Structure 1
Amino acid sequence: MEGEAHIVTVGTSVIRNSAPRVGGNLAEKLKGWARAKPGSPEDVEAGEKAAPGTPEFRAVYEILALDPRSVSAELNAMWPYLERRRVEAATLLATDSGASEFCAEVLRKYLRDKWGIGEVEVTRVPELGRDFEKGLYNLLDALSSAVRRHGGRGRRVYLNATGGFKPETAIVYVAASLMGIDRVYYIHEVMREVVELPILPLDLRPDYRSLARLLGKPVLRRELEERMRPEAVKEAVRRGILIE
C-alpha cells in the first residue's frame, strides 16, 4: 500500500489554545505571541524560542501531547489519517512569523515522537503573512517543491489546508489541483468535521504550458514572442504572470 505525505499549512492555533491552559507569565507571553505582528519584538522572541530546549517550548509541547486535537487545528484535521498509520512524511509550511514557526516546530516534534513519522520538515515561507503577493508566490513555490519531492518517491500527497490565512488557502486549493495532489482536506469551522475537497480537473491553457516550460531562467521578450503568440505574452504581462 502506498504511503502518504501530508503537506500542512500551519497557523498559530497551538499557542492560542495553549495560552489558557498555562499559568502566570507564560500565559500572557503566549497571548502576546499569538497577537504579535510578524517581525515585531514579541514575534521575533517566539521564533527564538522555537527549539525543544527552551522552557516555553517544553511547556507548550506537554500541553499539546495531553490533548492534541483540542490544541492544534492542524492535528485535529490530520487525525483520521494518522490513525490509519499510513502517514510516512510531513512538510509543515509556516508563515513568515516566529509564532507560526514555533507552532510548526512543536508539531514536528509531536509527529516524530508520538506517531513515529521520521521525515518531518518545517519550511518557513518568506513573506507569507507579510506581503500578500510575494508571500503567495513563495508559498506556491514551497508547495510545488514538496509535491514534486514526495510524489517522486511514490507517495500519495495530501494537503491539509486547515491552518494559516484563508485568502491564500483558496488560491493554494486551485494550485494543488493543477499540481496533481491526491487530496485536499480541512476542518469545517461549523460542522467541526474533516471535509475532503474534490480535486478540480484543471489544466493550463496551451499558451501558459509553453510559458511554464520556458521560464526556468530569465528570457528576452522577443524570444518569448518567437515561441508564443505575442498576444499571449501581453496577456501574461497584464495579469502579472510575467514581469518586464
Structure 2
Amino acid sequence: MIDLHCHLLPGVDDGARDMDEALALAKLAVEQGITHSVLTPHIHLRHYPNTLESLTPHYQNFKRTLRERGIPLHIALGAEVRMAPELLLGNAWKALPKLGKTPDGKPVLLLEMPYSHVPAGTDQLLRWLIGQGVQPVVAHPERNRDVIAHPTLALTLKGTGAWLQGTLSALGGSFGEDIKRVAWELLRKDAYHYLASDAHRIDKRSTRVEHVLSLLAEQMGREVVTALTHDRPWALVASRFI
C-alpha cells in the first residue's frame, strides 16, 4: 500500500505524540504492508499553524531516525490543509507542502473541510484551484455531517474536477455505522480516487489496515483495491521516491 494521508510526524498536530509513538506507527505500517507514506500534518491557522519551513526539520529528524532504527518505511512530506481563503487564494497555495504531481505535472493538494458542514463556496474554491493548475483532493468527505445527511454532496464536489480520498477505517466501521454506510456508498459509486489510512495514534486510528484491505478485496475485488491503495497513489508520488 502507498499511504497518502497519515499523521505520523511526531509532535506537530493531533497525530503521533512523540518519536516513540511515531516509530511504533511506522513499524506497524510496514508490518501491515505499507511501503511508502506521505506524511500529512494538519495546516490549520487556528489550531496547527504549521508551514513547510516549520515542518521540514521535524520531517528530516523523523526520516533520519527511521533509517537509524532500520524501519524500512519510505516517507515524504505533504500536508492536510484546512480549506480557508487565507491559506489557498492568491499565491498562498504555492507555499504549501504538496502530495505530489499528477501524470501531467499538476501539483496535488490535500484539503480538509470542517466536519460540521460543507462551507458555502467550497465548489467555487475547488474550481478556482483547478483553474490555477492545481489538483485538489478532498480528504474523508464521508465524515462531514452534511455529506452524511446528503451523500450526493460528495459527488457534487467531485463534479468540480476535485478528487475525493476515502479513509480505510471509515469503511471498517471505526467511526460508526452512519459514516460506514456513506463510505461504502461512495466507494460503490466510484467516488474515491484513492483510499488512505489517516492514521493518528497507535492506540486509536493506527496504521493497522490489513483487515480492512482484506474486507475490501472480498467485497470489491483485488483489482479495485490495488487501484485505490497502490496504483493511483503511486502515480502521484513515484517521482518523490525514485
Q: TM-score band (shorter)?
A: 0.3 to 0.5
- TM-score, structure 2 length as denominator? 0.34
Larger Rg: 1
Higher helix share: 1
- TM-score, structure 1 length as denominator? 0.33
